[in-house]
């Protein structure tokens, strides 16, 4: 089992390294308002495509993980979710946690995809904030009053990626930091155990 995990981890590392190599030669362009807006537009288009595909739940979750990895700054989000507990973590622990976090988020939010069947998200406004851009959108779910979804986009990772999301004012990163903190407490702060368990969580 540990070797299996190692293989997967190495595979992921290689895959990610390959992916990042392919974007390296492209000069990093400064993030603009229209760039940030475009990112969210295309994220929304990708999500809408998955919802419309009518695939099985597990296939949708895989698709969602791919979309999350493509559009979100997963490393910084995972670190923020880990919070102060991350300070004492080793580099390899942080790496393993980041990978586990990506799958956990994909499952946790991907499982709710069926609620979004027939939904539509419209980008409303974009404005500069100190950490990048704030993109406000309105989500229209069938049979429900529209609600506000806000994405925060930054290029501090070298690529334009979203790093936080607010649904009617509820901060996704802060919610996850609270949850991860509680999960760690349950394991008496043992990060390795949390990372091992995260495959079944979310």
Q: Judged by CB under 8 A, does residue 152 bind another protein?
A: yes
Residue 137: helix, strand or coil by DSSP? Answer: strand
Q: Does 126 bind another protein (CB under 8 A)?
A: no
91 binds another protein (CB under 8 A): yes
Residue whose CB is less far from another protein, 71 or 163:
163
The yes or no reply on residue 129 touching another protein (CB under 8 A) is yes
Rounded to whole angstroms, how far apart are CA atoms 192 and 6?
14
Which of 39, 50, 75, 160 touches another protein by CB under 8 A? 75
Q: Does 79 bind another protein (CB under 8 A)?
A: yes
As to burial, measured by CB atoms within 10 angstroms (0-12 exposed, 13-18 middle, 19+ buried), residue 106 is buried
Reduced to 3 states, what is the DSSP secondary structure of residue 191?
helix
| Residue 30 φ then ψ, to 5° | -65, 140
Run of H or E including 2: helix 2-23
**110 vs 60: CA distance, rounded Å:** 7
Q: Which stretch binds another protein (CB under 8 A): 21-29, 39-47, 60-68, 151-159?
A: 151-159
List the one residue from 55, 62, 70, 80 that touches another protein (CB under 8 A). 80
| Rounded Cα gap, residues 66 and 64, in angstroms | 5
Q: Contact region for another protein (CB under 8 A) — 36-44, 54-62, 63-71, 172-180?
A: 172-180
Is 20 a residue that touches another protein (CB under 8 A)?
yes
Nearer to another protein, 1 or 88 (CB): 88
Specify the residue, 66 or 142, whose C-beta has the smaller distance to another protein.
Answer: 142
User: Which one, 68 or 163, has the nearer CB to another protein?
Assistant: 163
- Residues with Cβ < 8 Å from 174, sequence gap 6 or more? none
CB of 113 to another protein, least distance (A): 11
């Amino acid at each position: 089992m540990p070797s299996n995990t190692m293989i997967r981890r190495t595979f992921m590392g290689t895959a990610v390294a390959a992916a990042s190599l392919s974007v390296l030669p492209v000069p990093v362009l400064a993030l603009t308002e229209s760039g940030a807006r475009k990112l969210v537009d295309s994220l929304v288009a990708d999500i809408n495509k998955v919802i419309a595909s009518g695939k099985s739940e597990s296939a949708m979750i895989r698709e969602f993980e791919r979309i999350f990895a493509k559009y979100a700054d997963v490393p910084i989000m995972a670190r923020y979710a880990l919070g102060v507990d991350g300070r004492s973590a080793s580099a390899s622990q942080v790496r393993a946690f980041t990978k586990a976090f990506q799958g956990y988020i994909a499952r946790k939010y991907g499982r709710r995809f069926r609620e979004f069947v027939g939904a539509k998200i419209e980008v409303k406004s974009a404005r500069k904030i100190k950490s990048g851009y704030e993109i406000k959108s309105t989500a229209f779910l069938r049979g429900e009053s529209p609600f506000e979804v806000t994405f925060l986009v930054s290029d501090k990772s070298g690529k334009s990626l979203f790093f936080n999301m607010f649904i009617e004012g509820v901060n996704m990163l802060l919610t996850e930091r609270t949850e991860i903190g509680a999960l760690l407490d349950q394991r008496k702060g043992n990060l390795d155990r949390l990372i091992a368990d995260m495959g079944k969580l979310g």
